[in-house]
Amino acid sequence: MDITSIKSVLHELSEEILPSRFETAQQPEPNIIQFCLRGINSQTWIEVSWSSDSARILKINRPEKLGAESTLSKQLRFGLKYMALVTIKQDKFERVIKFGFAKKPGDEINKYLIFELMGKHSNIFYLDNNQKIIAVGKQINSNQSSFRTVSTGSIYSEPPKNMKKEPSPDESYENWKESISSVPETLKYCLINTYQGVSPILTKQLEAFSNLGSSEIMNKNIDFISEVNLKKIYQSWKIWIDRFNNNNFNFSIFDSFFYSVWFLKSEINNINNIDEINGLENYYDFYLKQRKIDALIKKIDGIIFKQTNLEKKNFNLQSDLLINSENYQIYKEKADKIFMTHEIQKKDIIKGQKLYKKSKKLKRAQNLIKERIDIYKNKLDRLEEFSALVDNLNSLKNENLTIRINLLEEIKDEICREFNVRTRNTRSQKKDLSRLESAPIEINTPKGLKIQIGRNMRQNDLISFKFSKKGDLWFHAQESPGSHVVLKSSSQKPSDEDIQISADLAALFSKAKMNIKVPISLVNIKDLQKITKGGPGCVSFHNVEIIWGNPTRGKDYIKKNLKRLI
C-alpha cells in the first residue's frame, strides 16, 4: 500500500474512531492482525498486514472468527482490554503509524500499537508507556539487521529516517526538474529515488492523470522526454501534493486494474460511486484472494507432479519385475537339461536345484507383482482425478472466490491425506475445516428437477451415496476423470431434456471438457456401489447406458442459470 493510500485510510479512520474503545483482536494468518474498536454508535474492524509484498492497513467488514488463540492476539486482548484509542499519528511521508491508548480519553497514553508498513521491513509493535516492546510481529536479531535488533523486552527504536527530498507545493518547475535530473535514469526511478512518498503506483497515477497520449513516458530516460510532457507531469505532481496535504481523497479504479485515492470524481470515468474505505477493502480482498487461489493451485499441482513421478517410478519398477518373472519357464528348462544329461555331478545337481527354486519363486511372484501394478495404476488414476478437479475449478469464472479457496484447500487436504503427504503446518491451515466445508453445486433443470455436481472427492461421495435416493440418476464422463453429477429424479420422472442437460454438465466438469462431444455413463443410483478401499468418490456400477454430453451446451446453461455461488 502506497503512502497516499495509507494517509487516506488514516484520515477516514481518525474521523470515525477517535476516541473509541478497544474490544478484541485476532490473528487469522501469521502476518495479519485484525482488531475491533467500538465507537459511540458502531464497531469498526481494522486489519493490518506486515507481509513483505502486501503490507497494508484497512477498515474491513466484520471477519469470521479465526486466530483468536494466537499469542499476539491474546497479548493485545489482555493488555488493551477496555482501553481507549485516543491518538493516531503518522508523520507526513513516513510509513510508521502510531496508535496511542489510554485508560480513558484525556488520560495519559500508556500503551502503543506501532505499525511499520515498509515492504520487507514491515512489522507491528505493542509497547508500554516506557516504549518497551511487549509483543512484536517478527523478531529481528543482529544477524538480520545491523541497524537495530527487535525483541520482546527491548526498548523500541524507530527505523532510519527517510533522507530523500520531501515533496513541496512551493517548489518551482526548474528546481523540480533539476532535482530529478541529477541521475540519468528513467523518469519513474528519478522520482522514486529523489522524493519521499513516491512509489511505482504513484508514477502510474501521475502518468494516467496527465493524459499524455503515451503510456510509456515514465519508462523513458528523462533526457528523451519533451519539455511539454515533463511540464504536464509536473502539474499533476503539484495537484497530488496539494490533495495529499489537504486530505482530499476519493477512491477510483484506473487502467481497469490499478486504483487511486486522489483522483476527483470529475476526473475519472468511473460509473459507480465507490466509497473509499469499501473500495480499498474490496480491491485488496479480491486480489489477495486471487493470489491465494493461484498459490493453492501451484501448491496442489506441485504435490500431484511429485506424487505422480513417485508412483510412475514404482509402477515402472514393478513392470520390469513382471517382465523378469515371465522368464520362469526359461530357468525351469535350463534345470531340466541339467538333469537330463547322462553324466551328472554333485555341482550340477546344486545348480539345477537353484534354477528350479528361482523358477518357482518367479512364478509365485507374478501374482503379487500384478497386484502391486494394479495398486500403482489406481494411484495414478486417482492423481489424474484430483488434477481434473483442480482444472474444473476454472469452468466457472463468476464463482465466489472464498468458495474456490475452500474447495482448493479441501482438495489439497484430500490428496495429502490419501497419499500421506506431509505439508508444513501454518496457522492459516489450522482452521476449523468443519465450518469451512463447501457444498456441491445445485442447479435446476428446465423442468424444475435438481442437479447436484461434486467439486471434490468428499462432495462426489456425498451426492452419490449420502444425499441420493432410489430413483436418482448418476452421470460421469466415461473413462475420463471428473465430477460426479446426480439428477434428483426420485421425486418425478425426468424428461429427455433433463437427462441431456445432466449429461452436458457431466461433460463440462470432466477432463474431456475441451472435446465437442463426450461419452457419458448414465447409471441408476441403485446400481452404484462404493469401493470402500478406493478412497472417497471411488465407485463401481453395472447396467450402464452411454449417452453423449456437450460441454459447450453445459457451460452456456450453467452461466445462464447459476447467477452466483454462495
| Domain extent listing, the chain | 3-136, 173-267, 283-418, 439-561
Judge whether 389 and 456 are in contact, CB under 8 Å.
Answer: yes
Q: How far apart are CA 393 and CA 397, in angstroms?
A: 8
Residue 434: is its pLDDT beyond 90?
Answer: no
pLDDT digits (tens, 9 = 90+) for 131-143: 999 999 988 887 7
pLDDT digits (tens, 9 = 90+) for 105-132: 989 999 999 999 998 889 999 999 999 9
Q: What is the pLDDT of residue 564?
A: 42
Q: How far apart are CA 180 and CA 183, in angstroms?
A: 7
Q: What is the DSSP string of 70-137?
A: SHHHHHHHHHHTT-EEEEEE--TT--EEEEEEESSTTSPP-EEEEEE--GGG-EEEEEETT-BEEEES
Grid cell listed for 565: 455461488
Side-chain-side CA neighbours of residue 475 (13 Å):
28
Which region, left, alpha or beta, applies to residue 221 given φ > 0 means left and ψ of -120 to 50 means alpha?
A: beta
pLDDT digits (tens, 9 = 90+) for 445-497: 988 999 999 999 999 999 999 999 999 999 999 989 999 999 999 988 999 99
Mean pLDDT, the chain, as a whole number? 88
Topology of domain 3-136, CATH: ibrinogen binding protein from staphylococcus aureus fold (2.30.310)
Average pLDDT over residues 300-311: 95
Q: Do the strands 441-444 and 20-29 form a parallel or antiparallel pair, or are they unpaired?
A: unpaired
- Name 319's Cβ contacts closer than 8 Å, sequence gap at least 6: 373
pLDDT digits (tens, 9 = 90+) for 222-239: 888 889 999 999 999 999
pLDDT confidence tier of residue 307, bands split at 50, 70 and 90: very high
Q: What is the pLDDT of residue 433?
A: 46
Residue 270: is its pLDDT beyond 70?
Answer: no
Q: What is the pLDDT of residue 565?
A: 43
Residue 431: is its pLDDT beyond 60?
Answer: no
Identify the weakest region by mean pLDDT among 175-189, 283-297, 396-410. Answer: 396-410
Average pLDDT over residues 411-435: 70
Q: Measured in whole angstroms, how far is the alpha carbon of residue 486 from the centre of its chain?
A: 29
Q: Which residue has the higher pLDDT, 541 or 396?
A: 541
Residue 324: is its pLDDT beyond 90?
Answer: no
Residue 195: is its pLDDT beyond 80?
Answer: yes
Q: What is the DSSP string of 145-181?
A: -SS--B-TTSBP-PPPPP-SBPP-TT--HHHHHHHHT
Q: How far apart are CA 203 and CA 193, in angstroms?
A: 12
Average pLDDT over residues 168-182: 92
482 pairs with which residues across the strands? 510
pLDDT confidence tier of residue 426, bands split at 50, 70 and 90: very low
- Name 377's Cβ contacts closer than 8 Å, sequence gap at least 6: 315
Q: How far apart are CA 10 and CA 279, in angstroms?
A: 15
Judge whether 164 and 199 are in contact, CB under 8 Å.
Answer: no
Q: How far is CA 103 from CA 20, 84, 215, 455, in A?
A: 11, 6, 53, 52
